[in-house]
Amino acid sequence: MSDIPTRLQPIFEQIDKNTEANIAKLATAISFKAVSGDESLRPELFKKADYIQSLLEKLNCTDIQQFDLGEEKPGLSLPPVILARLGTSPTKKTVVVYAHMDVQPASKEDGWDTEPFELFHDKENGLLIGRGSTDDTGPLLAWLNMLEAHQQLGLELPVNLIFCFESMEESGSIGLDKFIEDEAKTSGYFFKYASKIDSVAISDNYWLGTTTPALTYGLRGCNYYQIKVDGPKADLHSGVFGGCIAEPMIDLVQLLSTLVNSKGEILIPGVNEMVAPVTDAEREIYKSITYSVEEFNESSNSNTCLFDNKEDILMHRWRMPSLSVHGIENAFSGQGAKTVIPATCSGKFSIRTVPHIDSDKLDALVIDHVNKQFAKLNSPNKMVCELVHNGAYWYSDPHNSSFTAASKATELVWGQKPDLTREGGSIPITLTFEQQLKSSVVLIPCGKGNDGAHSINEKIDLENYVKGAKLLGSFLYYFSETD
Amino acid sequence: MSDIPTRLQPIFEQIDKNTEANIAKLATAISFKAVSGDESLRPELFKKADYIQSLLEKLNCTDIQQFDLGEEKPGLSLPPVILARLGTSPTKKTVVVYAHMDVQPASKEDGWDTEPFELFHDKENGLLIGRGSTDDTGPLLAWLNMLEAHQQLGLELPVNLIFCFESMEESGSIGLDKFIEDEAKTSGYFFKYASKIDSVAISDNYWLGTTTPALTYGLRGCNYYQIKVDGPKADLHSGVFGGCIAEPMIDLVQLLSTLVNSKGEILIPGVNEMVAPVTDAEREIYKSITYSVEEFNESSNSNTCLFDNKEDILMHRWRMPSLSVHGIENAFSGQGAKTVIPATCSGKFSIRTVPHIDSDKLDALVIDHVNKQFAKLNSPNKMVCELVHNGAYWYSDPHNSSFTAASKATELVWGQKPDLTREGGSIPITLTFEQQLKSSVVLIPCGKGNDGAHSINEKIDLENYVKGAKLLGSFLYYFSETD
């Protein structure tokens, strides 16, 4: 294994040599306004997919296909998923690489300092600024940049790769779950040349902070609920009916107030009891992570943190459940002062789930609690509490072969051990890959915690873009050597 | 006084003779899409004002003026207020007649059975259906129909009239308060020929039900409040921040839940204590009113009433305060399942006020209560509770000369004593007239409780339209005879 750095040395040098060209490639890739959430921009997603396909073709990928996922709604086609292959050697391991081509909405009016779809190279600070630079076009290109270096040097990869690039990640990955499931079948794409997938690598998250690289071994799940209260058949005037009619909004506010308190503590009986106890060993992991209350406050741009130490913050972000109240549909939500009694209203809230919360049991606890609380109100209105959607949490062994290889790669490229992190949010496709491809999954982020993935002035540090290619390449070498 | 019916007899007959012509006039008047809430229809309000002015001219009114109230916002002119006069005799009493020319929005798509701006005469049921038929174009024309009968018969009115017709009533009567205040000054319109105004008559409300005419002697006021909770600088992702950040929506829901319970009881200390006690005499008034729980349920189109008897319903509509929660601004309010933590949110609620709630004291109680509740939450977020606007309640002596005359007119025309009603809603201009013109005000409704003023298929019964003209004419005769 000690000769790996020797084998990687020329590749690293080639990646460095290609820096200007790779920046230009990123500039082209982010120039597509590939906003999956904006129907009017749908053609841009197709154009960007064609551009990415052209890069895959230049890299001599095979079996490149754009898959049609059907329509998002009548008259609106879903953008394609690209699958492509590099290598079909039966003696090599096979790694699936997932990334997404679509981006969050962005416009200069939102407060960007530069045009979001024109890459700005801030040379003074070493930043590549533009929508998609870090989420997820930059990391996607880091994979391709690594491959190009191999091609230029006439080197073969130590593993087989299968690329899976989608275009709807920022809009719920519509259609992808079913697609992966179908293609994971014996007649499908993934197992055409290999009897098993050895690892799935995803670079679609970020370091915790800005100084220490990270590998991510857990994601919270999300069960999203709605409490709908129905009263009169139509909205009423509060002057005429106020005081005489049972107001759905009053019932709803009472119900929502029983779910969680201002300290963020979930008040629904039985939920906290399902959470895996914190072990002493786990506490030690959290102590070693580079993080601070100040970093948290910087990321929220406020001083409204519920905790005063990094351990509590990280545990409540990663391994404790949380309940957020998102809003209310059908009540008055405009500006000004409308004196309406909404006839119906739906409160939306979600619970982030962690080991060992059983999703079905959680649903039962939530719905039972809300039903009991509503019964207490003795209201003549009708109330239904229901699950809107759920996505399970994901939790991996951070010491399996994928993580061990990724950890070595990180040490080689960044000169320090990665933080072993979890994420508070969900990447539902992670679990789909794990389950459908029966493979371990490793989240191996390229960008820093302050990249502003869904915010204005999204950036990736040039260093992270360049070292990202080296990191992903190194990961494949170390992974190829594992048992 | 006993000769009044004799004097009115030919007028009543003339009004009956004019029925077809008066229906045609209503058809023309409601054909203008005079929706004050729809900027794109603003020209229609000007056209309708011109049409109403032409009718006033035909009736030989004098001093007819369309007053420019300025702009609603840059580039959008407010529609005019029309003032006009009929008679300047120093020996006669002077009555101000208020009505409004604008209407609520309406389109066939909302569920109307007929085109809302084309009068449909449902002869089978004796209904005149169309937007504005009862609110307030029909009653406005009832005044003019009554005058036309006088004109045709060569009869003089027993009082001087001043008309005040506005065009923004359905949009908060923007500009009218200030206008009335200015015109009430010595150099203004109202007191040009008279040292005092003896009564102000408004026909802009409805009978309580469908069988008994009404006179209205009280209106609730409305103090509208907002609770704004500010947390992080921008919306956050609940996956990343949920459980670690103090969520403004969670604080807001907790605060709103302390204001009122599901029985409609106001929980803010000190508010209920300000309400005038119910007297035994008052209870008797309520007993005599024709009303039922069934009628209430029919009007709300549901079975979500908080009370099981008419007295409680009417008292809580008319003479008890109520607190309604209208909605929340800036939280997620769309369809679907967005996992946002809103950075800021504003809860909107209002309290309907009644004698003897002191408006300033109420504000102090509300704000103090919310501040104390927020302090209990110990939240790092920022919270401000503030008054958005207020309108005072109005309460008149239902046995003064205006009401006595209106009551006699009702008995004459409808053959039964009117219910003495109050309204749960506000007509802020009522109080403005009372205060600025130092006159009593009488609310003398023409239409029935099921007219659907702000709903689809708005109608006025033909009988009410015809008898409305007789009622208003009779009122003037009886009023001219009072001391």
Pair (B133, B192) in one structural domain: yes
Q: Is residue A131 part of a domain?
A: yes
- Cα dihedral B233, B235, B241, B245 sign: positive
The tokens for A67 are: 């898959």
Subunit contact A331:B326, Cβ cutoff 8 A: yes
Between CA B441 and CA B157 the distance in angstroms is: 20
- The DSSP result for B202-220, as a single string, is E--SB-SSSSS-EEEEEE-
Pair (B238, B149) in one structural domain: no
Domain with residue B368: its CATH number is: 3.30.70.360
Candidates A233, A333, A426; nearest CB to B327: A333
Write out pLDDT tens, residues B59-81. Answer: 999 999 999 999 999 999 999 99
Looking at the complex, does the CB of residue B295 fall below 8 Å from at least one CB of chain A? no
pLDDT given at position B1: 43
Q: Is A379 exposed, middle or buried (0-12, 13-18, 19+ CB in 10 A)?
A: buried
Q: Is residue B286 part of a domain?
A: no
Q: What is the CA radius of gyration of chain B?
A: 24
To test the contact with chain A by mutation, choose from B73, B324, B451 the residue with the greatest count of A C-beta atoms within 10 A, namely: B324
Q: Is residue B312 part of a domain?
A: no
To test the contact with chain A by mutation, choose from B135, B206, B240 the residue with the greatest count of A C-beta atoms within 10 A, namely: B240
Where residue A426 falls among pLDDT bands split at 50, 70, 90?
Answer: confident
Between CA A429 and CA A178 the distance in angstroms is: 11
Looking at the complex, does the CB of residue B275 fall below 8 Å from at least one CB of chain A? no
Candidates A237, A301, A335; nearest CB to B425: A237
Pair (A196, A337) in one structural domain: no
Closest among A63, A173, A44, A49 to A116, alpha carbons compared: A44
Closest among A60, A98, A59, A103 to A82, alpha carbons compared: A98
Closest among B352, B319, B346, B318 to B224, alpha carbons compared: B352
To test the contact with chain B by mutation, choose from A216, A300, A456 the residue with the greatest count of B C-beta atoms within 10 A, namely: A300
CA of A449 to nearest chain B CA: how many angstroms apart? 11
Looking at the complex, does the CB of residue A272 fall below 8 Å from at least one CB of chain B? no
Looking at the complex, does the CB of residue B37 fall below 8 Å from at least one CB of chain A? no
DSSP SS3 for B409: helix
Which residues 339-378 of A are in CB contact (within 8 Å) with B?
Answer: 339-342, 345, 348, 350, 352, 377-378
- Give bridge partners of residue A329 from the DSSP assignment: A346
Q: CB under 8 Å to B112, separation ≥6 — which residues? A: B106, B456, B457
**ipTM reported for the complex, 2 dp:** 0.85
A468: left (phi over 0), alpha (psi -120 to 50) or beta: alpha
Q: Is residue A454 part of a domain?
A: yes
Between CA B168 and CA B170 the distance in angstroms is: 6
Where residue B322 falls among pLDDT bands split at 50, 70, 90?
Answer: very high
- The DSSP result for B216-280, as a single string, is EEEE-EEEEEEEEEE-SSS-EEHHHHTTTB--HHHHHHHHHTTTB-TT--B-STTTGGGSPPPPH
A290 half-sphere exposure, CB direction, 13 A CA radius: 14
Looking at the complex, does the CB of residue B424 fall below 8 Å from at least one CB of chain A? yes
pLDDT given at position A1: 44
- The H or E element spanning position A229 is strand A221-230
Look at residues B361, B391, B421 and tell me which one is the last residue of a structural domain: B391
Q: Which residues of A touch B322 (CB under 8 A)?
A: 238, 242-244
Write out pLDDT tens, residues B10-38. Answer: 999 999 999 999 999 999 999 999 999 89
Q: Is residue A163 part of a domain?
A: yes
The tokens for A197 are: 């997938």
Q: Is residue B208 part of a domain?
A: yes
Pair (B188, B331) in one structural domain: no
Question: Annotated catalytic, B169?
Answer: yes
Pair (B158, B60) in one structural domain: yes
Write out pLDDT tens, residues B149-167. Answer: 999 999 999 999 999 999 9
- Whether the CB-CB separation of B329 and B249 falls below 8 Å is answered with no
Where residue A163 falls among pLDDT bands split at 50, 70, 90?
Answer: very high
Between CA A381 and CA A366 the distance in angstroms is: 20
Pair (B331, B250) in one structural domain: yes
- Whether the CB-CB separation of A328 and B333 falls below 8 Å is answered with yes
Between CA B35 and CA B41 the distance in angstroms is: 6
Look at residues B339, B370, B391 and tell me which one is the last residue of a structural domain: B391
Pair (B256, B235) in one structural domain: yes
Q: CB under 8 Å to B204, separation ≥6 — which residues? A: B98, B99, B100, B135, B136, B139, B169, B427, B443, B445
Closest among B440, B438, B442 to B180, alpha carbons compared: B438
Look at residues B391, B418, B452 and tell me which one is the last residue of a structural domain: B391
pLDDT given at position B134: 97
Where residue A234 falls among pLDDT bands split at 50, 70, 90?
Answer: confident
Looking at the complex, does the CB of residue B245 fall below 8 Å from at least one CB of chain A? yes
Which residues 159-218 of A are in CB contact (within 8 Å) with B?
Answer: none
Identify the active-site residue in B44, B135, B169, B423.
Answer: B169
Pair (B241, B208) in one structural domain: no
Question: Annotated catalytic, B20?
Answer: no
Q: How large is the average pLDDT for residues B205-226? A: 94
Looking at the complex, does the CB of residue A34 fall below 8 Å from at least one CB of chain B? no
Write out pLDDT tens, residues A302-333. Answer: 999 999 999 999 999 999 999 999 999 999 99
Subunit contact A261:B247, Cβ cutoff 8 A: no
Q: Is residue A342 part of a domain?
A: yes
Looking at the complex, does the CB of residue B262 fall below 8 Å from at least one CB of chain A? yes
The tokens for A132 are: 């998609």
DSSP SS3 for B384: strand
Domain with residue B204: its CATH number is: 3.40.630.10
CA of A483 to nearest chain B CA: how many angstroms apart? 35
CA of A394 to nearest chain B CA: how many angstroms apart? 13
Pair (B43, B170) in one structural domain: yes
Residue ranges making up the domain that contains B239:
221-276+319-391
Subunit contact B332:A326, Cβ cutoff 8 A: yes
Pair (A19, A60) in one structural domain: yes
- Give bridge partners of residue A305 from the DSSP assignment: B245
Q: For chain B, what is the domain count?
A: 2
Pairing of strands A94-100, A199-202: parallel
Subunit contact B324:A238, Cβ cutoff 8 A: yes
Q: Is residue A61 part of a domain?
A: yes
DSSP secondary structure letter of residue A291 = -
Say whether pLDDT at B2 is over 80. no
- Whether the CB-CB separation of B251 and B374 falls below 8 Å is answered with yes
Pair (B338, B459) in one structural domain: no
Of A36-40, A53-57, B317-321, where does mean pLDDT reach its minimum? Answer: A36-40
Pair (A243, A185) in one structural domain: no
Q: Which residues of B touch A321 (CB under 8 A)?
A: 243
Between CA B383 and CA A376 the distance in angstroms is: 29
pLDDT given at position B41: 95
Mean predicted lDDT score pLDDT of chain B: 95
CA of B58 to nearest chain A CA: how many angstroms apart? 38
- Whether the CB-CB separation of A250 and B359 falls below 8 Å is answered with no
Subunit contact B379:A232, Cβ cutoff 8 A: no
